[in-house]
Amino acid sequence: SIVGRFLEHSRIYYFQNDGAADLYLASADWMPRNFYRRVEIAFPIEAPELHNEIITEILPHFLTDYGKARELQPDGSFVRLKPEEGAPRSQAQHRFREHSRRQAKKLAEKQSASKMRLSPIRKLPNDRK
């Protein structure tokens, strides 16, 4: 479990099924209150490019997050995960937030270089509210 700055966290379920990688995203944790008192959904990721991106670029960051990660124990308690000797301390949410900022900056630069501009639609005086 990784809960950092954002209380909502990823619900990625990854299974090896007879050599095939089954990958699902879900709207809730697998907890009794979510199964019996709410409507939740889990869905498979079937698009090969997205499937590969999640497995190779997203999951590894969560699996090596030693800053906020906790592991659920059989008795219901959580134990903080510790990095191996010499491994860097990493926080997945921080890494993805910074990645999103860089991507947004690139997109903004690309759009400002483009001649195409979007303008807001203005209401005409006789338009109804």
Is the per-residue pLDDT at 112 higher than 70? yes
Confidence class for position 111, pLDDT limits 50, 70, 90:
confident
Is the per-residue pLDDT at 29 higher than 80? no
Is the per-residue pLDDT at 69 higher than 80? no
Q: Which of 5, 11, 10 is nearest to 94 (CA)?
A: 5
* Integer angstrom CA distances of residue 17 from 23, 31, 55: 10, 23, 15
Report how far residue 82's alpha carbon sits from residue 71's, in angstroms, rounded to the nearest whole number. Answer: 10
The residue that leads in pLDDT, 115 or 60, is 60
Q: What is the pTM of this model?
A: 0.61
- The confidence score (pLDDT) of residue 47 equals 95
- Mean pLDDT for 10-24 is 88
- The confidence score (pLDDT) of residue 6 equals 59
Is the per-residue pLDDT at 73 higher than 60? yes
Report how far residue 26's alpha carbon sits from residue 64's, in angstroms, rounded to the nearest whole number. Answer: 21
Q: Where are the alpha helices (DSSP H) in the chain?
A: 32-36, 48-53, 59-63, 92-113
Return the CATH class of domain 12-113: alpha beta
- The confidence score (pLDDT) of residue 45 equals 95
Report how far residue 123's alpha carbon sits from residue 33's, in angstroms, rounded to the nearest whole number. Answer: 48
